[in-house]
Amino acid sequence: MARFMTETEHRAPAVPRAGTAEGRRGGTGENATGPLDGQEEAAALLERTRALVDPELRAAVESLPGAMRSIALYHFGWRQADGTPAAGSAGKAVRPALVLAAAAALGGPAAGAAAVRAAAAVELVHNFTLLHDDVMDRDTTRRHRPTAWTVFGDTGAILAGDALQALALRLLAEDPHPAAVPAAARLTACVVELCAGQHTDTDLERRAPDEVTLDEVLVMAEAKTGALLGCACAIGALYAGAGEEDVAALDGFGRQAGLAFQLIDDVIGIWGDPRRTGKPAGADLVARKKSLPVVAALAAGTPAAAELASLYGKPHVKEAADAAEEITRATQAVERAGGRDWAQAEAADRMARAMQELARAVADPESAGGLLALAEFVTRRSS
């Protein structure tokens, strides 16, 4: 156990370092100070996951009728908008990788192999929420392509999302593994939490900056991001035949790692390198997004916090020169009000909590290696 905790401390999340919005690399990928083996291990895990889960996922999507199939194939990147085949880039498969890694950590390789269908179910749920979130948020780009609703209309995207949720639960209902039923119970409970989280998110975005507390945003982020990562790990534990306490510990691990991920993602949304994120610098600030570093900064009660509140109270200026200056001012205000430092410290704290949860269920650090690598991967990512 001691060695385990030491190793995890050694692998504490590397969050983007202090710097300005302009031209600075946001993250710590190939130029990280720590060893890269964790990243390499995660990359290998994700690749193996894709190889195992994609056929199951693809077969499920191909089983959909007519337009539902077309829209889902497009969303997953397996088809172009005109129906021609595409190489496919169906996301990084972090959630199914967590299912398989958790199953393997608690039950060995056989448990991992048995959980492939459940891993596909979790990925289907994730993608159902993406399809619907993009409609609600009017987001026009996803994985560097136009979102499904911009191509197939709101109706197509809503119905394809509905169908993917049903398909996810169908995979579990048709899985004879004894863990499939409790996994379905967890996954459906998780969907309810995801919905509540997304609803709170849209509600918070509509409120004035001074009407949003940091606690509310943390609870929302846990529901919207942490819940499904936790559920993925818990389902993996179920497929390993784990008892209730271990399943709960794995859920806690995923939730805390998910919150750490969201904190880093929010830091990247402000300080990320546009060349790596594919989004303009300070995109979240331009959108007046009440991300975690921003709400932490707003709550600081300092002159910088007041300046940020004043900037957030006005719509984003459109003229190029003024816009760049405004982004710089907002970025610096968040930083001076301590938003970035808080987010980085909070991310490290959440990762420490995640490690504690993991250690409750997995005493052997060797077995936990895959989960650690994935947690490190999601919190080290810089785009």
Q: Is the dihedral of CA 227, 276, 296, 346 positive or negative?
A: positive
Among 196, 204, 248, 317, binds a second copy (CB under 8 A): 196
Among 65, 85, 301, 315, binds a second copy (CB under 8 A): 65
Contacts of 280 (CB under 8 A, 6+ apart): 274, 286
Q: How far is the CB of 101 from a second copy (least distance, A)?
A: 24
- Contact status: 214 vs a second copy (CB under 8 A): no
**Nearest residue (CB) to a second copy, 69 versus 353:** 69
**Nearest residue (CB) to a second copy, 193 versus 349:** 193
- Contact status: 68 vs a second copy (CB under 8 A): yes
**Nearest residue (CB) to a second copy, 81 versus 195:** 195
Q: According to CB under 8 A, which residues from 8 to 47 bind a second copy?
A: none
**DSSP string over 349-381:** HHHHHHHHHHHHH---HHHHHHHHHHHHHHHH-
Among 127, 147, 150, 198, binds a second copy (CB under 8 A): 198
- Contact status: 301 vs a second copy (CB under 8 A): no
User: Side chain identity at 18, as an amino acid letter?
Assistant: A
**Nearest residue (CB) to a second copy, 26 versus 230:** 230
Q: Stretches 58-66, 315-323, 340-348, 354-362: which one binds a second copy (CB under 8 A)?
A: 58-66
Q: How far is the CB of 80 from a second copy (least distance, A)?
A: 20
**Nearest residue (CB) to a second copy, 10 versus 207:** 207
Among 5, 12, 86, 195, binds a second copy (CB under 8 A): 195
Among 2, 30, 66, 314, binds a second copy (CB under 8 A): 66
- Residue 84 has a CB neighbour count (10 Å cut-off) of 7
Q: Is the dihedral of CA 276, 281, 282, 287 positive or negative?
A: negative
Among 22, 193, 341, 349, binds a second copy (CB under 8 A): 193
Q: How far is the CB of 321 from a second copy (least distance, A)?
A: 35
Q: According to CB under 8 A, which residues from 124 to 153 bind a second copy?
A: 128-129, 132, 135-136
Among 106, 184, 237, 250, binds a second copy (CB under 8 A): 184
Q: Rounded to 10 degrees, what is the CA torsion of 41, 183, 265, 37? A: -10
DSSP state of 211: G
- Contact status: 110 vs a second copy (CB under 8 A): no
- Contact status: 211 vs a second copy (CB under 8 A): no
At 240 the three-state DSSP class reads coil
Among 166, 248, 286, 317, binds a second copy (CB under 8 A): 166
Among 13, 16, 96, 161, binds a second copy (CB under 8 A): 161
- Contact status: 59 vs a second copy (CB under 8 A): no
Q: How far is the CB of 186 from a second copy (least distance, A)?
A: 8
- Contact status: 67 vs a second copy (CB under 8 A): yes
DSSP state of 79: B
**Nearest residue (CB) to a second copy, 27 versus 258:** 258
* Burial classification of residue 101, based on how many CB atoms lie within 10 Å of its CB (0-12 exposed, 13-18 middle, 19 or more buried): buried
CB–CB of 253/232 below 8 Å?
no
* Phi (first) and psi of residue 141, to 5 degrees: -130, 135
Q: Could you give the residue ranges of the DSSP H alpha helices within the chain?
A: 2-10, 37-62, 66-75, 94-114, 116-137, 148-173, 180-206, 214-221, 227-239, 244-271, 274-277, 283-286, 292-298, 303-312, 320-336, 339-361, 365-380
**Nearest residue (CB) to a second copy, 167 versus 296:** 167
Q: How far apart are CA 204 and CA 194, in angstroms?
A: 15
Alpha-carbon distances of 211 from 76, 217, 259, 286, rounded to whole Å: 37, 11, 22, 19
User: Among candidates 355, 357, 361, 367, which has minimal Cα distance to 10?
Assistant: 355
Q: Which positions lie near a second copy, rule CB under 8 A?
A: 64-68, 128-129, 132, 135-136, 154-156, 158-163, 165-167, 169-170, 172-174, 180-182, 184-185, 188-189, 191-193, 195-196, 198-200, 202-203
